[in-house]
Structure 1
Amino acid sequence: MNHFGEKVSFIWSVADLLRGPYRPNQYKDVMLTMTVLRRLDCVLSPTKDKVLEQQKKLSGGKVKNLDPILCRVTGVPFYNTSRYTFEKLKGDPNNIAANLTHYIKGFSTRAREIIEHFGFEEHIAKLDKADRLYLVVAKFCDIDLHPHAVSNIEMGYIFEDLIRRFNEASNEEAGDHFTPREVIRLMVNLLFMPDGDILTTKGIVKTLYDPACGTGGMLSVAEDYVRELNPDARLEVFGQDYNAQAYAICGSDMMIKGQDIEHIAFGDSFTDDRFPRHKFDYMLANPPFGVEWKPQAGFITREHEEQGFGGRFGAGLPRINDGSLLFLMHMISKMKPACRDGHGAGREPKIGGTRLGIVFNGSPLFTGAAGSGESEIRRWIIENDWLEAIVALPDQLFYNTGIYTYLWIVTNRKKPGRRGKIQLVDATSFFKKMRKSLGNKRNEVCSDQRDEITRLYGNLEDADHVHIF
Structure 2
Amino acid sequence: MAKQKKETKEKPIEVTLWEAANKLRGSVEPAEYKHVVLGLIFLKFASDKFEEQRAKLIAEGKEKYIEKPEFYNMNNVFFLEEASRWSFLIKRAKQSDIALLIDTALHTIEKNNKSLKGALPDNYFSRLGLDVTKLASLLDTINDIDTTRDPKQDVVGKVYEYFLSKFALAEGKGKGEFYTPKSIVNLIAEMIEPYKGIIYDPACGSGGMFVQSIKFIEAHHGNKKEISIYGQEYTNTTYKLAKMNLAIRGISGNLGDKAADTFLDDQHKDLKADFIMANPPFNQKDWRAENELTDDPRWRGYDIPPKSNANYGWILNMVAKLSENGIAGFILANGALSGGGEEYKIRRKLIENNLVEAILVLPSSMFYTTDISVSLWIINKNKKEQVRAVGSEKRHFRNRVKEILFFDLRKSGIPFEKKFVQFSDETIQHIAGTFHKWQQTEIENVPEFCYSAKIDEIEKKDFSLVPSKYIAFVNRDENIDFDKKMKTLQSDFANLLKAETQSKNDLLTVFKELGYEIKL
| TM-score greater than 0.5 by the shorter chain | yes
Q: Which has the larger radius of gyration?
A: 2
Give the match for residue 514 of structure 2.
none
Verify: 1:275 aligned to 2:247, yes or no: no
Verify: 1:374 aligned to 2:343, yes or no: yes
Verify: 1:222 aligned to 2:191, yes or no: no
Shift of 1:156: 4.8
CA contact (8 A) 1:390 1:406 kept: yes
Deviations 1:61-102 (A, max 9, x none): xxxxx7554312xx2253222344223212134353453244
Amino acid at match of 1:191: I
Deviations 1:238-297 (A, max 9, x none): 2211222322222122223333244565322111211111111111101111232x2x41
Shift of 1:409: 0.7
Match of 1:355 among 321, 327, 345: 327
Shift of 1:26: 3.7
Deviations 1:329-386 (A, max 9, x none): 11111122x3xxxxxxxxxxxxxx2111111120111222xxx121122122112111
Verify: 1:466 aligned to 2:472, yes or no: no
CA contact (8 A) 1:282 1:355 kept: yes
Deviations 1:162-213 (A, max 9, x none): 3223313xx5348x37322222222112112xx9xxx5xxxxx511111111
Match of 2:313 among 326, 330, 333: 326
Verify: 1:210 aligned to 2:201, yes or no: yes
Verify: 1:7 aligned to 2:36, yes or no: no
Match of 2:284 among 285, 291, 305: 291
Secondary structure at 2:199's aligned position in 1? strand
CA contact (8 A) 1:128 1:134 kept: no
Distance in 1 (alpha carbons) for counterparts of 2:353 and 2:345:
12
Worse-superposed segment, 243-252 or 49-58: 49-58
Give the match for residue 510 of structure 2.
none
CA contact (8 A) 1:433 1:444 kept: yes
Distance in 2 (alpha carbons) for counterparts of 1:390 and 1:422:
8
Distance in 2 (alpha carbons) for counterparts of 1:210 and 1:240:
7
Q: CA, structure 1 residues 18+187, in 2 after alignment: closer, same or farther (shift >3 Å)?
A: closer
Give the match for residue 371 of structure 2.
402
Verify: 1:32 aligned to 2:17, yes or no: no
Deviations 1:199-228 (A, max 9, x none): 5xxxxx511111111111111111211232
Q: CA, structure 1 residues 462+375, in 2 after alignment: closer, same or farther (shift >3 Å)?
A: farther
Q: CA, structure 1 residues 41+130, in 2 after alignment: closer, same or farther (shift >3 Å)?
A: same
Give the match for residue 79 of structure 2.
79
Distance in 1 (alpha carbons) for counterparts of 2:167 and 2:405:
35
Distance in 2 (alpha carbons) for counterparts of 1:58 and 1:29:
30
Secondary structure at 2:411's aligned position in 1? coil
Instruction: Compute the RMSD of aligned alpha carbons.
Output: 3.2
Verify: 1:444 aligned to 2:413, yes or no: no
Match of 1:256 among 231, 240, 248: 248
Verify: 1:427 aligned to 2:409, yes or no: yes
Q: CA, structure 1 residues 394+209, in 2 after alignment: closer, same or farther (shift >3 Å)?
A: same
Distance in 2 (alpha carbons) for counterparts of 1:3 and 1:444:
24
Give the match for residue 202 of structure 1.
none
Q: CA, structure 1 residues 4+312, in 2 after alignment: closer, same or farther (shift >3 Å)?
A: farther
Secondary structure at 1:297's aligned position in 2? coil
Secondary structure at 1:333's aligned position in 2? helix
Distance in 2 (alpha carbons) for counterparts of 1:143 and 1:260:
23
Verify: 1:390 aligned to 2:359, yes or no: yes
Give the match for residue 181 of structure 2.
180
Distance in 1 (alpha carbons) for counterparts of 2:331 and 2:185:
10
Q: Percent identity among equivalent residues?
A: 19
Distance in 2 (alpha carbons) for counterparts of 1:28 and 1:87:
22
Paired positions, count: 416
Deviations 1:406-431 (A, max 9, x none): 11110111133201222212233333
CA contact (8 A) 1:87 1:141 kept: no
Give the match for residue 302 of structure 1.
292
Shift of 1:13: 2.9
Match of 2:98 among 96, 99, 111: 96
Give the match for residue 139 of structure 1.
141
Amino acid at match of 1:187: I
Amino acid at match of 1:157: E
Amino acid at match of 2:293: E
Distance in 2 (alpha carbons) for counterparts of 1:393 and 1:402:
11
Q: CA, structure 1 residues 412+125, in 2 after alignment: closer, same or farther (shift >3 Å)?
A: closer
Q: CA, structure 1 residues 458+104, in 2 after alignment: closer, same or farther (shift >3 Å)?
A: closer
Give the match for residue 337 of structure 2.
365
Q: CA, structure 1 residues 403+99, in 2 after alignment: closer, same or farther (shift >3 Å)?
A: closer
Amino acid at match of 1:89: L
Secondary structure at 2:376's aligned position in 1? strand
Distance in 2 (alpha carbons) for counterparts of 1:55 and 1:315:
63
Amino acid at match of 1:208: I
Secondary structure at 1:115's aligned position in 2? coil
Distance in 2 (alpha carbons) for counterparts of 1:366 and 1:241:
28
Distance in 1 (alpha carbons) for counterparts of 2:222 and 2:413:
31
Distance in 2 (alpha carbons) for counterparts of 1:287 and 1:3:
38
Q: CA, structure 1 residues 451+29, in 2 after alignment: closer, same or farther (shift >3 Å)?
A: closer
Shift of 1:142: 3.0
Verify: 1:127 aligned to 2:129, yes or no: yes
